[in-house]
Every structure is written in structure tokens, then in C-alpha cells.
Amino acid sequence: MNKLLNKLQGDSPQEILRNATEISSGIVFSTSFGKEDQVITDIIAKNQFNIDIFTLDTGRLFEETYQVFDRTVKKYKLEINTYYPKTDRVEELVTKKGPYSFYDSVENRKECCGIRKIEPLQRAIKGKNIWVTGLRAEQSENRQHMTQVEWDEVNKIVKIHPLFHWSKQELEEYIEKNNVPVNSLHKKGYPSIGCSSCTRPIVDGEDERAGRWWWESSKKECGLHQTK
């Protein structure tokens, strides 16, 4: 496994993704249409990498997220496979606990994330060998403990974070230079955008993930990416 992980390293996101496609044809990239994900989509499209792109539609996304989704599809002429939560599980959750149970406890919030995000994710990566994400170490203290290429023991898959060592400045420079479409909410103080009910703008001095699940003092993760 260590030899495989070493082969997936690279000096640039393009090199990392190219190395991945030379090793495996079973590669998927998960996008939530944040700035990092949009940069990776741009790289995949321009290099015509054989990487399937998917997104998780929880049913509670911002309208602005759908707008950038539409702009992305039209600009890059790529199919983005969309996975929704199972209707019966959402119906059962809302019937028994109401539409905002996730505000009541961390356990309830993780239950909602499990239904709306984790289960659809497992369907999206099933049978795949490599999962590409847009994580950056700078986004939060939790993510600094991760590595650019790693083994996800929970999902039994290799994960690659091509932009892991990029700074915010590098990200912004790439977006401007390449005219990458971005979510209009970023200009309104939303650096990290998830479900509309669980995301708020951040204030000066907060890390980029502070606006996610702001009412709790957890690690600010939904369970898609396990952190130490």
C-alpha cells in the first residue's frame, strides 16, 4: 500500500491526477462546487483526465449552489453524476424528529449527515479505487493532520487531495487566471458552503470551516472525511 501511495504523489495537482489515471481507471472526484472543487474540475476538464465527477445533493442546498452547478456543466461540457439520499430514510427522519432535529444535538446532526451525505457517498464510490477531493490543509486545524495521499480505512479506498498544500492565495490566483466559475456566496462571507440550514458566513479571525454547524463545538466535519 505504501508503494501505491508513493506513486500517487506529485509536484502539482495536474501531475498527481495524471499519475492517478496511469495507475487506475476507477477514479472518482467528489465536488460540492466550492472553490477548491471548481479548480479541480477545471484541471480535469482541460487535461481530459479519465475521472468521473459526482456530487451529493442533500435536498437542502443553497440556490446559489445549483446556479454554479449549472454554469459548471455548461462551461466544461462534463457530466456530473448526482446522488440523492434515499427518500424513505429522509421521510422517516423528518416524520419522527421534524425538519430541524440536527440543531438539537451532535448525534442528531450526524444522523442527518449520515442519511443525506454518507449513504449516498458510499453508493458513489462503490467499486472505485481512488477518490479525489478538494481538501486543503489550511481550511481548518482538523485537516492539517491529514496527508495529501492517504488510505481511507472506513471506506476502503485511496484518497487524494491534489490541492492539499495550496494556500488561499494560490487558489484565488488560479481561479482568476483561468476564469473558473465560483459560487456567488463566497463574496458574501461563505468560504465553505454546505446545506443552507447548516452554513453561515464567517467573521474575521475564524477559520474557513467555522461557518459549518456553527451552533456546536465539534470538529466541523460531517463524516465524509475522517480526521484524527
Which residues does the annotation mark as catalytic?
222
> Contact 211/201 with Cβ under 8 angstroms?
yes
- Alpha-carbon span 26 to 20, nearest angstrom: 9
> Contact 183/65 with Cβ under 8 angstroms?
yes
- Alpha-carbon span 195 to 73, nearest angstrom: 21
**Residue showing cell 444535538:** 105
- Alpha-carbon span 72 to 58, nearest angstrom: 19
- Alpha-carbon span 184 to 191, nearest angstrom: 10
- Alpha-carbon span 144 to 119, nearest angstrom: 26
Torsions phi, psi of 121, nearest 5? -60, -45
